[in-house]
């Protein structure tokens, strides 16, 4: 009995598998909240993360929306960045180069597998998504996350994620050319999340991640204007967590592929809610803005939880609440 407990204390197994790729632990960063890792490398030892999910990348540079782009709301925030990014070429030369250096270093230091690199892909048209996916074929990228759920750009993105037929179609077309496993990132701004998860699975997705932000609005009553220049924005943070847990549960019930859960995760307990609801892995998003080291403390807290409860493998907890 004692020996068993010691074994778990030494190494509870936090590793998980998504699309055949092993992650050293189930904690990743949510796209758009962590740049490409560089910006937070002062605060966080990136080599400890399960994966770094990059800011959305498009075929050519995107300007994004006018400011104000962000607004705080109770236990959350609205954003309407509009997927500003330097385009896939600069991204490969600069951001991917940075991240792969980090992986090499992590491997050399023998601290585990190092963080997996997941690139979030966005586009206005299916062709634009395909261009980025193709460009990334031979780059040091472990998984692709396809953003069909950003509420802040006028064309593309969410249009593909709010209709089951188009979601299945875009998934199929991406899967046909993608060299890396494909995660479809789903929007909560739909009537039936299970239907969308099934459409992604039917299209051949290797996993789904959810939830992207909930469409919201904030009004400045003194000035009698919208706070965000874009008028609407995506709500994130602990305010949306119960909605996210519910949707992850429904999606996990509907599909066999792994579900990556996110929405206001700030602690190991929050992350475990998602895992118990059916998530294989989780992502920390806007709480990084509150506490830059959140993702690492979530990993540490999960380890403590597993030791405390005598759980050998984190994957044993996935969907344990039914």
Partner 1 sequence: MTETAIRKQKMRAEVLRHETLAPGIRSLELRVPELPSAARPGQFVGVYTGDGAMLLPRPISICDSGDEKELRLVYRVAGKGTAEIAGLKAGEETQILGILGNGYPVEELKNKRVLLLGGGIGIPPMLLLAKQLSALNSGEEKDQSPVITVLGYRDAQMFLREEFEKYAQVFIATEDGSVGTKGNVLTAVKQEGIRADAICACGPMPMLRAVKAYAAQEGIACYISLEERMACGVGACLGCVAKTTREDEHSHVKNTRICTEGPVFNAKYVDI
| Residue 182, beta-bridge partner list | 144
**Cα 209 to Cα 76: distance, rounded to the nearest angstrom:** 20
| Residue 78, beta-bridge partner list | 71, 235
What is the H or E stretch that residue 219 is in? strand 219-220
Determine which residue in the list 42, 110, 221, 256 makes contact with partner 1, applying CB under 8 A: 42
Residues annotated catalytic, as ranges: 150
In this structure, the number of other CB atoms found within 10 A of the CB of residue 310 comes to 12
Chain positions 264 to 293 lying near partner 1, rule: CB under 8 A, are 286-293
Stretch that binds partner 1, among 77-85, 190-198, 207-215, 248-256 (CB under 8 A): 77-85
Determine which residue in the list 70, 194, 217, 243 makes contact with partner 1, applying CB under 8 A: 70
**40 lies in the binding site for partner 1 (CB under 8 A):** yes
Task: Output Rg (C-alpha) for the chain, integer angstroms.
Answer: 19
Closest to partner 1 by CB, 151 or 237: 237
Answer for the pair 301, 48: CB distance below 8 angstroms, yes or no. no
Stretch that binds partner 1, among 8-16, 33-41, 155-163, 295-303 (CB under 8 A): 33-41
- Shortest Å, Cβ 198 to partner 1: 32
**102 lies in the binding site for partner 1 (CB under 8 A):** no
What is the H or E stretch that residue 260 is in? strand 259-262
Stretch that binds partner 1, among 36-44, 104-112, 180-188, 247-255 (CB under 8 A): 36-44
**84 lies in the binding site for partner 1 (CB under 8 A):** yes
Determine which residue in the list 71, 130, 186, 295 makes contact with partner 1, applying CB under 8 A: 71
**301 lies in the binding site for partner 1 (CB under 8 A):** no
With a CB cutoff of 8 Å and minimum separation 6, the contacts of 122 are 56, 57, 58, 62, 83, 85, 129, 132, 147, 150, 153, 156, 157
- Residue length, the chain? 322
Task: Give the binding site for partner 1 (CB under 8 A).
Answer: 32-35, 39-40, 42-43, 55, 61-64, 67-72, 74-77, 79, 81, 84, 86-87, 90, 237-238, 286-293
């Amino acid at each position: 009995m004692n020996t068993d407990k010691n074994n778990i204390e030494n190494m509870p197994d936090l590793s998980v598998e998504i699309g055949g790729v092993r992650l050293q632990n189930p904690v990743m960063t949510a796209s758009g909240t962590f740049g490409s890792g560089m910006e937070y490398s002062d605060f966080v030892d990136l080599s400890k993360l399960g994966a770094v999910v990059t800011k959305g990348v498009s075929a050519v540079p995107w300007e994004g929306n006018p400011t104000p782009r962000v607004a705080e709301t109770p236990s959350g925030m609205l954003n309407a960045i509009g997927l500003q990014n330097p385009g896939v070429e600069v991204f490969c030369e600069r951001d991917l180069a940075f991240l792969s250096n980090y992986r090499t270093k992590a491997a050399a230091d023998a601290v585990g597998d190092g963080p997996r690199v997941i690139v979030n892909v966005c586009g206005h048209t299916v062709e634009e998504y395909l261009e980025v996916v193709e460009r990334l074929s031979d780059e040091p990228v472990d998984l692709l996350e396809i953003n069909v759920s950003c509420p802040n750009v006028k064309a593309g993105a969410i249009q593909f994620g709010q209709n089951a037929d188009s979601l299945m179609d875009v998934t199929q077309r991406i899967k046909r050319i993608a060299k890396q496993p494909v995660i479809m990132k789903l929007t909560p701004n739909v009537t039936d999340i299970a239907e969308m998860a099934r459409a992604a699975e039917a299209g051949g997705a290797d996993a789904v991640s959810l939830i992207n932000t909930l469409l919201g609005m904030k009004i400045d009553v003194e000035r009698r204007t919208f706070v965000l220049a874009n008028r609407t924005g995506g709500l994130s943070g602990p305010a949306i967590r119960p909605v996210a847990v519910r949707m992850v549960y429904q999606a996990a019930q509907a599909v066999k592929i792994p579900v990556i859960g996110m929405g206001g995760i700030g602690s190991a307990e929050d992350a475990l809610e998602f895992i118990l609801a059916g998530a294989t892995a989780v992502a920390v998003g806007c709480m990084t803005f509150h506490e830059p080291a959140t993702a690492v403390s979530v990993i540490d807290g999960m380890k403590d939880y597993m030791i405390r409860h005598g759980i050998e493998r984190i994957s044993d907890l996935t969907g344990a609440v039914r």
